[in-house]
Amino acid sequence: MLKPRRKSQKIYPNADRYGEDGRRLYSVYDGASVARSPSRQFWVKRIRLAAIVLAVIAAVLTAIVVSTLPR
């Protein structure tokens, strides 16, 4: 039974990832980690803080409403 021919590795944009035997030299996922921009970290912290503050306000309002209910 005939097997399909393997394509040449040189046609791929990441051909340098392959060794002489056609196996990968390193994984695609081993790339350098991308540092987040400082402005994005700032906004993420602000949004997280806002979410915590809203949760605390909701808890206080719930406690006030429950305490005012007739028993």
Residue 9: predicted pLDDT: 53
For 33, the token pair is 């980690």
pTM, two decimals, is 0.47
Three-class SS of the chain: CCCCCCCCHHHCCCHHHECCCCCECCCHHHCCCCCCCHHHHHHHHHHHHHHHHHHHHHHHHHHHHHHHCCC
What are the φ and ψ backbone dihedral angles of 4, each rounded to 5 degrees? -65, 145
Residue 61: predicted pLDDT: 97
The DSSP secondary-structure symbol of 8 reads: P
Residue 22: predicted pLDDT: 64
pLDDT of 13-68, one tens digit each? 655 666 666 666 665 565 555 566 778 888 899 999 999 999 999 999 999 999 99
Banded model confidence at residue 1, pLDDT cuts 50, 70, 90: low
